[in-house]
Structure 1
Amino acid sequence: MKHLPFLFFASLFFFMSCSSDNEVADIDPGPEASALYFPPIGGSEWETVSASDLSWNSSAESELYDFLNEKGTDGFIILKDGKIVVEWYFGDFIASDNHSWNSAGKTLTAMTVGIAQTEGFLSIEDSSQIYLGEGWSMLTPKQEANIKIRHHLTMTTGLDYTVDDPFCYDQECLLYKNEPGTYWYYHNAAYTILDQIITNATATDFKQYSYQKIRDKIGMQGNWIKVGYNNLFFSNTRSMARFGLLCLNQGTWDTVEVLADKSYFTEMTNTSQNLNSSYGYLWWLNGKSGFKAPGSEANFQGELIPNAPSELIAGLGAFDQKLYLVPSENLVVVRLGDDAGESQLASSSFDNQLWEKLNAYFNN
């Protein structure tokens, strides 16, 4: 089943972490990053590897499967070194079916912005006004000019998130609340405006630019589809896994440089501001001492997903759409499906429960 977006991910009470939240670290590609396997661009060929060959705990596999089935999962994939270990589909959902990524699709947008910057079409330090024109909001021209592309990527535009419809990006919905860069709030309208910035900067429709620069280069399928004010990416489960593999290799698909600027990739996947240490450029980061969550002004203490590896980075979408990367282990985990039924404020408790099952499977 395909779901419309929702502001909340859900929550748990988390334990304190002792990590230095603002330390910028290159993503560790793992000891055998050069051995990553990349499936062919065309066709359905994709090499597999068994859990037993990896010395994983095969006896924990059925418990993982049952858990996913009970929680409304449609598609689930685990990649190790780029090869498929697990590929499961549940109910009537099959491998060729498309599903919305919901806000996990923000990770695609983040990379698209980085590519546009690498190609010289924009700088994330530019004022958004350069590409949107004066008067794209209800702010004064000076207030408007102070909002940079970086602020849209980091959820720090300062636009008013208390408006009646926080998805609305019409001029009358975009009001001043805070100085940009001084407050973090998960404001979808401020994010969606990036589509128009990319369109105007590149003189190419955002969708087509994204398809040309990412989707088509790595053999994904899928499309951006307007749902109300939201622009959501729909694809099959393998396509999300392909994108995860691209990101596991820091923007390079085999020998093809999709995102050539590795410094941007590092910035994208590390703490991007001092207001929510668990947020990069539209990516979620584990291993920090606290976080803020969609739909909430509260500061939560502890790691985003305590049971997950501290180095984990993630694309997280409403109704429990998940793209997890564990770089040092060359792991990609994808989950698409229905709401797992564990929604509260902050990050979904489903994440923590799932990682308990995964740790048992991985023998961690």
Structure 2
Amino acid sequence: MRNILLAFSTLFIISCNSDNNDTPPIAEETETMYFPDNNTDIWETKSSAELGWNESAKSELVTFLETKNSKSFMILVNGRIVMEEYFDGHTATTPWYWASAGKTLTTALTGIAEQEGYLDIDSKVSDYLGIGWTNAPVEKENLITSKHLLTMTSGLDDALGDNVSPANLQYVADAGTRWAYHNVYVKLQDIVAEATAQSWNDYFNNKLKSPTGMTGAWIPTGDLNVYWSTTRSMARFGLLALNNGKWKEQQIINSNYFNNAITPSQSINKSYGYLWWINGEQSYHLPQTQFEFQGSIIPSGSADMYMALGKNDQKIYVIPSKKMVIIRMGNTADDENFAVSDFDEELWVKINFVIN
């Protein structure tokens, strides 16, 4: 009888406390997001053992990365370094090229210029660069907006090589009706420079590089500017992307714009945003083809992942559900490629053995 009374009393107390608005519910403790200091390369770490990862699978992942011509590999969780590996004489202070993974830097600067009122991505490119920046008929050229450059839907011929001089930018289809991976996106850098009345380098350094503590530089390569930096600087940008354009307490890139950048930007290639690749969609296109492939780009990768992918397997993978950023720099894992390759799927199979 005494035990029954004690149980009843306990239930009564719990019932009263649950109705008491002055007693907040106990919240599950979560680890705060970490950002490295802007003026140093010191970075907090977290062990994979603390996260419950498969320690025995790590060595297999590292061996795989080494055999696939990698220079560096890094995993951040909540901003903290969990894995950091270097290969083939590469070190934490050695710069390497981002290739087309750096397109997402152009996305970021374009968004910053728009939020500062310098440009409108829905305005036609000729408003900033003047008529004749392509070889298309004027009425077709005037259909092309900055958003078309961001989404790879300019309608210009992608089969004519990397040259982006006016003579080589020829009309194939009306803007917005055809998706094709094309270096014409680089004209966004000219638009930003023209609109802000600043050089691309100065605007980049002031608005993105300095606020995040990145190092590195744009190196002219043919008709393109290619960004070179250390692995940790690439990881800083990945961390900014994980946090929807926010670095510490500063919203560097407008969150609405950034959300648009990492979601399907048009209906032709559902796996492409604003120069970001998107995983987990129903179909995708690849560079240099008009064929539509069914399924997700990286079936073994997280469905919510978005990616900056560059020639010869330069990678930034951002996975919000895991609060994770993964970086891979190096030479091509297998055959030379433009951005997406079979290596992505192979790598993610190995990563999953470690983190799951």
Normalised TM-score (structure 1)? 0.88
The CA distance in 2 between the partners of 1:251 and 1:95, in whole Å, is 25
Unaligned 5+ runs, structure 1: 1-30
Q: 1:322 aligns with which of 315, 320, 341?
A: 315
Shift of 1:347: 2.7
Cα distance in 1 for partners of 2:29, 2:304 equals 17
* Aligned-residue CA RMSD (Å): 1.5
Deviates more, 1:287-296 or 1:273-282: 287-296
Partner residue in 1 for 2:173: 178
Contact 1:271 1:285 in 2 (8 A): yes
**1:154 corresponds to:** 151
Matched ranges for 1:1-364 at <5 A = 35-163=32-160, 166-188=161-183, 190-259=184-253, 261-341=254-334, 347-363=340-356
Are the counterparts in 1 of residues 97 and 227 from structure 2 also a CA contact under 8 Å? yes
SS of equivalent residue, structure 1 residue 35: coil
Distance 1:94 1:282, change over 3 A: same
The answer (yes or no) to whether the contact 1:305–1:352 under 8 Å persists in 2 is yes
Structure 1: distance between partners of 2:136 and 2:79: 47
The aligned amino acid for 2:309 is L
* Partner Cα distance (1:98, 1:61) in 2: 25
Say which SS state the counterpart of residue 325 (structure 2) adopts: strand
In structure 2, distance between residues paired with 1:347 and 1:317 = 8
CA contact (8 A) 1:244 1:325 kept: yes
Could you tell me how far 1:344 is from its partner in structure 2?
6.8
Q: Tell me the alpha carbon deviations over residues 237-291 of structure 1, each in whole angstroms, 9 at most, x when there is no partner.
A: 00000000011011110111211x2111110000000000000000000001111
Kindly indicate whether the alpha-carbon contact (under 8 Å) linking 2:154 and 2:174 is maintained by their aligned counterparts in 1: yes
Do the aligned residues in 1 keep the contact of 2:95 with 2:229 (CA within 8 Å)?
A: yes
CA distance in 1, matches of 2:104, 2:186: 12
Instruction: Tell me which residue corresponds to 1:8.
Output: none
In 2, the alpha carbon distance for the partners of 1:176 and 1:61 equals 49
Q: Structure 1 residue runs of 4+, over 4 Å off?
A: 31-34, 342-346
SS of 2:163's partner is coil
Summarize the Cα distance change of 1:205–1:120 in structure 2 as closer, same or farther, 3 Å threshold.
same
Q: Which amino acid aligns with 1:349?
A: D
Q: In the aligned structure 1, how far is the partner of 2:252 from the partner of 2:61? A: 34
Q: CA separation in 1, counterparts of 2:31 and 2:104? A: 24
Aligned length in residues: 329
Matched residue type, 2:170: L
Larger Rg computed on CA atoms: 2
Question: 8 Å contact 2:70–2:331 — kept in the other structure?
Answer: yes
Residue 210 of structure 1 and its aligned partner are, at CA, apart by 1.2
Q: Distance in 2 between matches of 1:48 and 1:145?
A: 51
Distance 1:313 1:123, change over 3 A: same
**Contact 2:74 2:83 (C-alpha < 8 Å) held by counterparts:** yes
CA distance in 2, matches of 1:272, 1:245: 22
1:296 offset after TM fit, Å? Answer: 1.4
The answer to whether the 8 A contact 1:224-1:231 is kept is: yes
Q: Per-residue deviation at 1:345?
A: 8.6
Deviates more, 1:137-146 or 1:210-219: 137-146
**Between 49-58 and 336-345, the greater mean CA deviation after superposition:** 336-345
> What does the per-residue CA deviation read over 1:141-194, in whole Å, with 9 as the maximum and x for residues that have no partner?
22211110000000000112222xx21111111111100000000011x11111
8 A contact 1:292–1:346 mirrored in 2: no
**Deviation (angstroms), 1:32:** 8.3
CA distance in 2, matches of 1:75, 1:48: 17
CA–CA distance in 2 between the matches of 1:346 and 1:208? Answer: 28
The whole-number CA distance in structure 2 between the counterparts of 1:131 and 1:36 is 39
- Structure 1 Cα separation of the partners of residues 31 and 77 of structure 2: 13
Return 5+ residue gaps in structure 2 as ranges: 1-27
